Amino acid sequence: MSSGYRFYERASKAYYSHPHLSKLLVVSTISGGGLLAFSESSPLRSTYAADVGDIKKKKVVVLGTGWAGTSFLKSLKDPSYEVQVVSPRNYFAFTPLLPSVTNGTVEARSIVEPIRSIVKKKKFDVQFREAECYKIDTQNKKVYCKSTQESNLGGSEEFTVDYDYLVIAMGARSNTFNTPGVVEHAHFLKEIEDARRIRRTVIDCFERAGLPSVSEEERKKILHFVVVGGGPTGVEFAAELHDFVIEDLAKLYPTLKEHVKITLLEAGDHILNMFDKRITQFAEDKFQRDGINLKVGSMVTKVSETEISTKERDTGKTVSIPYGMVVWSTGIGTRPVVTDFMKQIGQTNRRVLATDEWLRVEGCDSIYALGDCATINQRKVMEDISAIFNKADKNNTGRLKVDDFKEVINDICERYPQVEIHLKRKQLRNFVHLLKNSQGEDELDIEKFKLALTEVDTQMKNLPATAQVAAQQGAYLAECFNRMKICETYPEGPLRFRGTGRHRFHPFRYKHLGQFAPLGGEQTAAELPGDWVSIGHSTQWLWYSVYASKLVSWRTRVLVVSDWGRRFIFGRDSSRI
Amino acid sequence: MSSGYRFYERASKAYYSHPHLSKLLVVSTISGGGLLAFSESSPLRSTYAADVGDIKKKKVVVLGTGWAGTSFLKSLKDPSYEVQVVSPRNYFAFTPLLPSVTNGTVEARSIVEPIRSIVKKKKFDVQFREAECYKIDTQNKKVYCKSTQESNLGGSEEFTVDYDYLVIAMGARSNTFNTPGVVEHAHFLKEIEDARRIRRTVIDCFERAGLPSVSEEERKKILHFVVVGGGPTGVEFAAELHDFVIEDLAKLYPTLKEHVKITLLEAGDHILNMFDKRITQFAEDKFQRDGINLKVGSMVTKVSETEISTKERDTGKTVSIPYGMVVWSTGIGTRPVVTDFMKQIGQTNRRVLATDEWLRVEGCDSIYALGDCATINQRKVMEDISAIFNKADKNNTGRLKVDDFKEVINDICERYPQVEIHLKRKQLRNFVHLLKNSQGEDELDIEKFKLALTEVDTQMKNLPATAQVAAQQGAYLAECFNRMKICETYPEGPLRFRGTGRHRFHPFRYKHLGQFAPLGGEQTAAELPGDWVSIGHSTQWLWYSVYASKLVSWRTRVLVVSDWGRRFIFGRDSSRI
C-alpha cells in the first residue's frame, strides 16, 4: 500500500468522523503539495455518495422518542442508513420539567418538540411512524406495530417494519409493585398527559372543596394531597405543589388555604437517598419548615377510592388516611413488550434488558437497547482474569513482571472501568501501583494476579435510570453507527482479551454531570461532579440556566424561559382546562 | 327639602355613578364654601357603608361565566349585593380566538382567564362555585346545582343557592338540527375542550395517513377535512386549517400535502351571509384560489363513522363523501335547563328565553337573562299606539298638532328604537318629519297617527348571538344594578306610555362596533360601523390590534400577543398533546 493512498484513507477517516475538520485538511494538503486532488471535499463526498448508492442502505429501526431515541436520532449523521422511527408519541418531551407542568410553572407544550421537526432537519432518509411496537421478531428481523390514534377512523392499523439494526429505546413504565388500587386511583408522573391530568385534578380538588355542601371533614380529605415516593420526581412535585398552593391558590381560594395538607410517603429511611446526605438533610428540614408532612419508613399497601393505607415500619401497624389525590412516583418497571422480548431471547430471570458495554442486547445480533428499558451488564475482571494474564504474557512464561503489563494497562482500564474506580477509591496512582502494592514484589503469577484484583469487581454499579444516561447512550450509539465502516477497518476499542484483535468501538462510558433536586421556594440542591454540593437560591439559578441550555431546540428554550417569565409576572393559571 | 340637602343627594348620586369624579367634586364644593363637610369622599363612603351594613344584602346569583356573565361580574361595582357565580367552567374564555386554538396559532391557556382572578379584585362579597345549574325554582327563589369535577372524589355534590336577583347567562349549545350521527361523530367548536380535541384529531389524521399500511384511497379519506356551516366560525376554522396545512404541516409531512382536502359545506347560497356582499364575494374567491372546496346549497342529512351525506339543492340528489374529520358549526340551540325553565314560566312556544328591553325575563320577577340564551322581545309601536297618542294628548282632545308630539318624541324614540331605524332608512331628519311626510297635514287623529307609523315595526330585528352583544348586555345590566337605588328615586328611563311616571332605567341599546371575518393567509375582512368594508392585510393588523385590546386582562393580552410572535418565528407546534 503506497503511503499516498494511506494518507488518503486517514484523511478520509478523519474527515468523516470530524466533518468540521475539512477546511483544516484542505490547508494541510495544499501545503503538502502533490495531493491536491484529495484536498477538495466535494469529490470525496461524491465518491462516497456513489458508494452508498450502489450498496443497499441498511435499515435502522428506532423504537421510542424519549431521551435515548431522540438523542440517537439527533446524533446520527451517516447518510448510508435508512431510518424508521416508531413511537406512540410524535414528540420528544423534556421530562425533567414534568413536575413544573403539573401546576403550570411551565406549559406542557413548551417542553415538547415534534419529532418531525427533528426529522425534517436530517439530510438523509428518515421516516417517523406514530405507532406502538407490540412484538419483535428476531428470527425474521421484523417489528410488529399498531397505530395509536384515537379518532373515529376505524380500528387500529397494523403493519410490520423490517430492520437490519434495531435500536430499542422504549423507556419504562411506572412501577406499582403490584400494590392494589394504584393503577385505578393514583396518578403517575411519567408522561405529558399525566402532568396535565394532575394539574386538572388539583384544580378540581380546590373547586370541589369550595362548594357549600361539602362538610369540614370532607373538605380536609379533598385537600389532602399524597405523594408516594421520595425520589427526585416525588420531592420536586411535592415542592412545586406547595409553591402553587402558597403562591397562587391561597390568594384565589383564601378560605381553603388552612385545610390544605401535603404528605410525602417514603418507604426508606430518607428522601432523596441517591443524593449526598447534606442534600437529604436540607430537603427534610425545608419540608418541615414548609409544613409538608414527611413520613419515612411508610410503605403503601393499598389505595382505595377514598383512602390510602400504609404500613409503618416503626410500629408495624397499618394506617389508612383519606385523600383527595395520590401521585405515585416510586420507580420504574419494564414494559410488557420488552418483557415478552426478553422471554423470546432467553433473558428470563432479569428485571430489565441486559446489554453489553457496547449497548448490544445480550444474545442478539444487531439489536441495541438503551435508556430506561436496558441496563449494561458490565463484564467482570474475574471472568476474564486468565485471558488478561495470557494476553500480557506474550512468551507464555507463566510469570510476569509488573512492567510487562504496561502494554495492556490502558486496554484493561477501558474494558473494565471498575478497575479505575477501584484505583481512585484506594487512592492509587495507577494499575502498576495496585499490583505492586498488594504484593510488594515485582513479579507475579496468575494466582497472585487474581489476588491483586479480587476486590475490583465489587466497584461495579448499575447506571441510574436518568435522562442523562439515556441521552449519553443515544449519542454514543449514533456515533458508533456513524463510524461503523471506518471502525470495521480500523477498530479503535480495547484489546479483545478472549479473542484476537481489538473491539471495533470504545465501550460506552457514562460521564456524570451532576444532578439537581429542586425543593420549591426558589431553592434547589445540586450534586455536581467531584462531590460538590450546592444548595440555595444561586443553585436555583444554576438550575434555570442549565435546563434552559439543555432544552432540545431554540423553540423550546424560548418557550420555557418565557413561561418562567410569565409565572414571575402573572403567577400560575388556575383555569381548569 | 333644603337646597343644601338636595345638593348633597345629587353630589352623592354623581359620586356613586361616576366615582372618578370625586376629585372634581372636592374642588367645586370647596369653591362653593359652606359645604366643606360633604367635600371629602371618605365620610360619604362610610355613611353609605353603614347603611349597607344595616340592611340585609340582596343576593345576586349569576349563572354562567361566558361573555355575558363575566362582563356583568366585571362591571358590577355596588357593594350592597352579595354575589354568587355558578358555572361549570372556572374560567372565562375569549371565544373569538377559538378557531386559532384549533391549530395552535394561539394556545388554549392564553385565551382563558380564571374567574377567581376576577373575583379576587372585587371589593365586595363574591363567591364562585364550579358547578352546573340543573333547575331553577322561581317559586322559592332557589337554583339547584351539582358539581362537575371529574376526579375520583365520590359522586357529584348537590346544593341549592337562594337568590333575590337571578342573572341567567348560560349561553347556548351547538345545534345539530337533530341530524343523525352529528353528536357521535362530529366535532363542535364552542368550548376550549372542543378546540383542543380538534387540534389533536388533525394531528392524528396526519399521523395515521403517514402509516405504511394505509392505502392511497384510505389516505385521501383520512386527510379529508369537512367543515359544516359557512358562518364566521366555520369559515375562520377552514381558513386557519388551510394555513396550518400549508405553512406548517406540508413541511413536516411532505408526502401527504397533495392528499389534503378541505371542504366547506353551506346549506344556503353563500357563506358569511350576515356580512356585506363584497366580503362574501372576496371570501368565496379566496377560498377558490386556496383550493378549499366550497359547496353551497349542500345540506347535511347524516354523519356516519366514515361518511358524511349531503342533499344537494341543485340536483336534489344525496351524496356521501368519506371523511377524516368533520367540524360542525351551524348555529346554536337552547340548553336543556333553559328549555325546562321556559316550560316552567310558560314560554313554551319560543326558541330562546324572551326578555323585555331591560333584559328581564318575561313573566318573571327579578330574573334577568342575557347573552346567547336569551333574546329581547322588542315591544311593537302598534301594541301601544293608543297609549302613545293619549300621552301626547294631554287635554284629551282626540286631535293633535304635530308640534304637540315634541315633548314625547325622545321618549318614543328611546322606548321603540325601531322608530329611529325607520327614520334613518327613509332618510328623514326626525319624527316630526315622519308625521308630516305621510300626511302633509299639521294635525292628526289616532287613525292618521297609526297610519303614519304602520311600517315602523317592520324594522325590528333580533340581535345576533355574538360575543359583542353578550358583553354589552352584561355591562348594561351591571350598570342597572349599580344604580338600582338611585334610579328608584330618580328614574331615568323613558315615559311609561301605558302607565304613569318613567321607567327606572334606559332600555338596553346595542351598539354595533363591526365584525371581523379572518380568511387565512393574513387576510381578514371587516364590516365596520357605517357600512364600511375593509379587506386585506391591513385589516388583519386591525384584527390583531382590536382583539389584543379586547382581551380580558393584561395577562391574556401578553400571552396572546406572544403566541402570535411565537407562531411567526417558530411556526405552530404539531405535537399530539
pLDDT at residue A554 tops 70: yes
Cα separation, A337 vs A341, in Å, equals: 6
Distance CA A432, CA A442 (A): 10
- Choose from B85, B116, B307 for mutation: most chain A CBs within 10 A: B116
Whether A542 and A533 have beta carbons less than 8 Å apart is answered as: no
Phi, psi of B150 (to 5 degrees): -90, -15
DSSP string of A50-78? HHHHHSPPEEEEEE--SHHHHHHHHH---
Of A185, A201, A213, the CB nearest to B157: A213
pLDDT for residue A427 is more than 70: yes
Torsion angles phi and psi, residue B122, rounded to 5? -70, 140
State whether B576 and A91 contact (CB < 8 Å): yes
Residue A104 has pLDDT above 70, yes or no: yes
Which residue in B89, B114, B211 is closest to A157 by CB distance?
Answer: B211
Are B213 and A158 a contacting pair at CB < 8 A? yes
**Tens of pLDDT along A514-524?**
888 888 888 88
pLDDT reported for residue B27: 28
Where would I find the beta strands (DSSP E) of A425-566?
443-445, 515-520, 523-528, 532-536
CB-nearest to A212 from B159, B204, B575 is: B159
Query: Does pLDDT of A50 surpass 60?
Result: no
C-beta atoms of A558 and B577 within 8 A: no
Question: Among partner residues B91, B569, B575, which is closest to A114 by beta-carbon distance?
Answer: B575
Q: At what angle do helices B417-426 and B406-415 cross, to 10 degrees?
A: 100
Q: Which residues contact B210 (CB under 8 A, 6 or more apart)?
A: A128, A129, A130, B253, B255, B256
Between CA A82 and CA A80 the distance in angstroms is 7
Q: With b meaning 16 or more CB within 10 Å and e meaning fewer, what string describes B65-85?
A: bbbbbbbbbbbbbbbbbbbbb
Contact B575 A147 (CB under 8 A): no
Q: Take residue A104 and report the three cell numbers written for it.
A: 403550570
| Contacts with A214 from chain B: Cβ below 8 Å | 157
Query: In 10 A of CB A398, how many CB atoms?
Result: 10
* Percentage of residues of chain A with pLDDT beyond 70: 89
Number of Cβ within 10 Å of residue A427's Cβ equals: 7
Yes or no: say if B307 and B321 are a contact pair by the CB < 8 Å rule.
yes
Pick B212's closest partner by Cβ from A151, A159, A208. Answer: A159
| Cα–Cα separations (whole angstroms), residue A517 to A133, A238, A523, B13, B565 | 34, 12, 9, 60, 33
Q: Say if the Cβ atoms of B576 and A203 lie within 8 Å.
A: no
pLDDT of residue A243: 93
Look up residue B452 and give its three cell numbers.
Answer: 303614519
Nearest CA distance, A54 vs chain B (angstrom)? 25
Cβ–Cβ under 8 Å, residues B115 and B91: yes
DSSP category for residue B244: I
Residues A508 and A358: beta-carbon distance below 8 Å: yes
CA distances from A193 to A231, A357, A564, B90, B345 (A): 21, 34, 21, 21, 45
Q: How far, in Å, CA of A157 to CA of B357, rounded?
A: 58
Give CA–CA dist B215/B210, Å, rounded: 10
At residue A426, the pLDDT reads 82
pLDDT at A491: 94
CB–CB contacts below 8 A, A to B: 173
Q: Which residues of A touch B213 (CB under 8 A)?
A: 157-159
Cα separation of the two ends of chain B: 70
Q: What is the pLDDT of residue A152?
A: 62
Predicted confidence at residue A326, as pLDDT, reads 96
- Tens digit of pLDDT for each residue in A261-293? 999 999 999 999 888 899 999 999 999 999 999
List, in order, residues 6 or more apart from B234 with CB less than 8 Å away. Answer: B227, B228, B264, B266, B271, B327, B329, B330
Residue from A221, A416, A208 nearest B148 by CA: A208
The whole-number pLDDT of residue A399 equals 83
Cell 445540586 found at: A526
Question: Do the Cβ atoms of B154 and A305 come within 8 Å?
Answer: yes
Q: What is the CATH number of domain A182-333+513-570?
A: 3.50.50.100
* Residues A120, B214: C-beta atoms closer than 8 Å: no
pLDDT tens track of chain B, all 577 residues?
A: 444 444 444 444 444 444 443 333 322 323 333 332 333 333 333 334 444 445 689 999 999 999 999 999 999 999 999 999 999 999 999 999 999 999 888 889 889 999 999 999 898 889 999 999 999 999 999 999 999 887 566 678 899 999 999 999 999 999 999 999 999 999 999 999 999 999 999 999 999 999 999 999 999 999 999 999 999 999 999 999 999 998 899 999 999 999 999 999 999 999 998 888 999 999 999 999 999 999 999 999 999 999 999 999 999 999 999 999 999 999 899 999 999 999 999 998 888 999 999 999 998 989 999 999 999 999 999 999 888 888 888 888 888 887 778 888 888 889 998 888 888 888 877 777 777 766 566 788 888 888 888 888 887 888 989 999 999 999 999 999 999 999 999 999 999 988 889 999 999 999 988 888 888 888 888 888 877 888 888 888 888 888 777 777 888 888 888 888 888 888 888 787 7
Backbone CA torsion sign across A492, A495, A501, A503: negative
Phi, psi of B128 (to 5 degrees): -110, 135
**Position A37 pLDDT exceeds 80:** no
Specify whether the CB–CB gap between B479 and B486 falls below 8 A. Answer: no
CB contact under 8 A, B205 and A120: no
Q: Note whether A154 contacts B306, CB cutoff 8 Å.
A: yes
CA distance B128 to B131: 9
3-state class (DSSP) for residue A361: strand
List all residues 6 or more positions away from B400 whose beta carbon is below 8 Å from its beta carbon.
B389, B392, B393, B443, B444, B445, B449
Amino acid at A567: R
Superfamily of domain A58-172+334-375: FAD/NAD(P)-binding domain (3.50.50.60)
Whether A324 sits inside 8 A of B577 (CB atoms) is no
Beta carbons of B128 and A574 less than 8 angstroms apart:
no
Architecture in CATH of B379-459 = Orthogonal Bundle (1.10)
A204 CA to chain B: closest CA distance, Å? 5
Residues of A with CB below 8 A from B112's CB?
Answer: 573, 575, 577
B213:A570 CB<8 A: no
The alpha carbon of residue A329 is apart from the nearest alpha carbon of chain B, in Å, by 19
Residue in B155, B147, B114, B110 with CA at minimum distance from that of residue B129: B147
Interatomic CA distance for residues B362 and B349, integer angstroms: 13
Closest C-alpha among B537, B539, A572, B69 to residue B547: B539
How many whole angstroms from its chain centre is CA A526? 18
Of A211, A563, A570, which to mutate for an interface test with B (greatest number of B Cβ within 10 Å)? Answer: A211
Q: What's the pLDDT band for A51 if we cut at 50, 70, 90?
A: very low
Chain B CB contacts of A250 below 8 Å: none
Q: Is the pLDDT of residue A70 over 60?
A: yes
Mutant choice from B197, B204, B562 vs A, greatest count of A C-beta within 10 A: B204
Distance from CA of B117 to the nearest CA of A (A): 7
Q: Tell me whether the CATH fold assigned to A58-172+334-375 matches the one assigned to A182-333+513-570.
A: yes
- Position A30 pLDDT exceeds 70: no
CA distances from A350 to A75, A340, A460 (A): 30, 12, 17
Judge whether B278 and B212 are in contact, CB under 8 Å. no
Beta strands A224-228 and A532-536, pairing class = unpaired
**Per-domain residue ranges of chain B:** 3-53, 58-172+334-375, 182-333+513-570, 379-459
Q: What is the mean pLDDT of chain A?
A: 85
Look at A253 and A6; give whichever has higher pLDDT.
A253
In the block, which residue shows the cell 300621552? B391
The cell for A24 is 483544516
Residues of B in contact with A207 (CB under 8 A): 90, 130, 147, 149
C-alpha cell at A224: 389532602
Q: What is the pLDDT of residue B373?
A: 95
Write down the pLDDT at residue B484: 92
pTM of the model: 0.85
pLDDT bin (cut points 50, 70, 90) of residue A36 is very low
Q: Which three cell numbers stand for residue A14?
A: 478523519
Among B297, B299, B295, B276, CA closest to B287: B295
